[in-house]
Chains A and B, each alone.
Chain A
Amino acid sequence: SQQGEEDPQALSIQEGENATMNCSYKTSINNLQWYRQNSGRGLVHLILIRSNEREKHSGRLRVTLDTSKKSSSLLITASRAADTASYFCATEGAGTYKYIFGTGTRLKVLA
C-alpha cells in the first residue's frame, strides 16, 4: 500500500505568498525526503529530515516532521513563479531500503 499521501493534491497561489503541503505516512520510518518535479528539470531532491529530527530549514524551505502523527509538512515561503512544480514526499520504511513516494502536490504559483 502507498505510504506517503500528500495533501492538497493541487494548490494555486499568488507569487509572494507561502505554500504549505502536507504528507502523511503509515509505518515507522528512517527518514523522509521532499522532492520537486517539473518538466524542465526532472526530479530534484529538496531536503531530508531524519526520524529523530523535528524541523529543518533550507533557504525558503521549512520542513517539519511529527512521528507521533506520522506526518510532515513542507512550507515554501515567499513563493516564486519558478516554484511551480509537483512536490513529492518520500519515506524510507524503518528496517527497509524501500522508498515510498506519495502521489504529489501540484503547486502553481501565479505571477
Chain B
Amino acid sequence: GAGVSQSPSNKVTEKGKDVELRCDPISGHTALYWYRQRLGQGLEFLIYFQGNSAPDKSGLPSDRFSAERTGESVSTLTIQRTQQEDSAVYLCASSSSGGGRGEQFFGPGTRLTVL
C-alpha cells in the first residue's frame, strides 16, 4: 500500500479484556517496529521485527504483551487482561532496512482506551 496502516484507529475496552492491534507495513519493508505513546509523552519502544523474527523484545512492558509478524507482512500486537495504564496510542512503523539504516515510516496509530 501507499503507507503504513493500522487498525482499528480507536479501541475502547473494559479492564481485563484482551485486545489485538494490527499493523500493515509498507510492502517490501523488512523491518517493523511497535511503539507506545502516552498522552503528552514521547514514544516508548516495544518491539522490533526483522522479517518475522523479533531480535529485540526488550521493550514489552510485561508478559501480557505479545506480538507476531507473518513473513514480511502484517503484524499484530496483543495485550491480554488489559489494565487502565495500557491506555495510550500504539504506533507501528516500518523501514526498508533494519537496524536503523533507513527512516521509519509511521502509521496513524491505534488509540486504546481501557475503562
Contacts and interface: CB of A to CB of B under 8 A. Distances in A.
A33 B103 contact: yes
A4 B48 contact: no
A26 interface: no
A97 B98 contact: yes
B100 A92 contact: yes
A59 interface: no
Interface string A17-31: 000000000000011
B48 A97 contact: yes
A104 B42 contact: yes
B59 to A, nearest CB: 7
Contacts of A33: 100, 103-104
Given A30-B100, A90-B43, A98 B48 contact: yes
A82 interface: no
Given A43-B93, A99-B104, A104-B42, 18 more contacts: A30-B99, A30-B100, A31-B101, A33-B103, A33-B104, A42-B107, A42-B109, A45-B104, A92-B100, A97-B55, A97-B56, A97-B98, A97-B99, A98-B48, A98-B59, A99-B100, A101-B42, A101-B45
Interface of A: 2, 4, 30-31, 33, 42-45, 48, 88, 90, 92, 96-104
